[in-house]
Each structure stands twice: as structure tokens, then as C-alpha cells.
Amino acid sequence: MQTFEGSYLGDNNLLADHSVLECKICWYQYHPDQGDDVWQIEAGTPFSRLPEHWRCPQCDGDKDQFMVVDK
């Protein structure tokens, strides 16, 4: 399986709780410390704990369309 930089391949075990992830379609960034008002996700919720049905609040992209942002 070939991977690209920043991909987590849907494996939540590869994500730290503080990881910021970015949609590769529209560049929306999910920040755990901010949560997501659109989906009513509380601040402090890591990306790995988002519900399976969660989608990008900006473009409706799937969770697997997100990449880890390098800080």
C-alpha cells in the first residue's frame, strides 16, 4: 500500500489527541481544542474520537480525506 505524507490511512491509533487534521479537498482544518460547531462536537474532542458519520463541515468530505498537519 502506498501512502502520502500526512496520511493516517483511517488508523486512529496513528493520531495523537492533539493532532490537527486538514481536509485535502477544501483545506478545512479540524482543531481538537476548538471542536466543530456545525456537527456540535465539543472542544477538546480529538479527531480519533469523532463519530464515524462525521464529515467535513465545509465540503462534506469523508473523514479519510483528512491529512495530519505538520506543525
pLDDT band at 5 (very low <50, low <70, confident <90, very high): low
pLDDT band at 7 (very low <50, low <70, confident <90, very high): confident
Domain boundaries defined on the chain: 16-71
- Which uninterrupted H or E stretch holds 67? strand 66-68
pTM of the model: 0.88
Which pairing describes strands 21-23 and 29-30: parallel, antiparallel, or unpaired?
Answer: antiparallel
Q: How far apart are CA 17 and CA 5, in angstroms?
A: 19
With H, G, I as helix, E, B as strand and everything else as coil, classify residue 24.
coil
Q: How far apart are CA 59 and CA 18, in angstroms?
A: 23
CATH topology of domain 16-71: Rubrerythrin, domain 2 (2.20.28)
pLDDT band at 59 (very low <50, low <70, confident <90, very high): very high
